[in-house]
Amino acid sequence: MPRAKTPLLRIDELTAPPVVGRTYLVPHVFQLTYPSDTRVGNWVPVRGAVHDDAELGVLRKHLHFDERFVSKAMMKRIGIENAHSWIVVIGQRDSSMRWSDGKVEWRPARCVTNVVGFANAGRTKAFFRFHQEYRDKELLKGHICPHRGYDLSTIPANAEGVKVCPLHGLHWCAKTGKNVQRKHIIPLDL
């Protein structure tokens, strides 16, 4: 007698980090790369809500890749070296960006890593001021980043007990919920 399949958990239903090797339902958008006007592209896993980052100089609406579900094969297929801080622009095409119409579809995806990183979105004055603005602030409800409301309950703390918000790199003490100032951020354009 065949075993009944266990339904897949949605990533937004988790209260702990996803297990590497396990498959979950994860939000995806269909990404096209300019100048393609055909429906040739890739479904890519994304996290957070559609937003712009005017305070960081990013005016286009976008979503962030969820690198926990981006395999090496997918990175090769979409032409990136790592998935940290890659974004998918919503509804606007230009010659340098990946874009999507923003329609989210929940699709199965295998967790390939629990290592969540953040590659600086440019060490600029705006980025530096942004991090200064959150100094000594606290997480909302103990696990929600106050900048974009991203739920950090599925993000593991690093060896220093710090959770890094994967959207914009804010650092939070996992025990106290307080912002931990990143001393190594020095703007390059001062």
Number of structural domains the chain divides into: 2
Q: What is the mean pLDDT of the chain?
A: 80
87, β-bridge pairs: 64
Percentage of the chain exceeding pLDDT 70:
79
Q: Do residues 5 and 39 share a domain?
A: yes
Q: Do residues 105 and 162 share a domain?
A: no
Q: What is the pTM of this model?
A: 0.78
> What tokens were used for 173?
């003490």
Q: Do residues 86 and 128 share a domain?
A: no
129 by DSSP, 3-state: which? Answer: helix
Residue after which a domain boundary falls, among 113, 129, 145: 113
Q: Do residues 174 and 155 share a domain?
A: yes
Q: Do residues 25 and 54 share a domain?
A: yes
Q: Do residues 69 and 160 share a domain?
A: no
Burial class (CB in 10 A: 0-12, 13-18, 19+), 148: middle
* Domain, as residue range, for 84: 1-113
pLDDT digits (tens, 9 = 90+) for 80-125: 776 666 777 777 655 555 677 778 899 999 999 987 766 555 567 7
Q: Do residues 124 and 105 share a domain?
A: no
- Could you give the CA distance from residue 92 to residue 95 in angstroms, rounded to a whole number? 10
Q: Do residues 132 and 175 share a domain?
A: yes
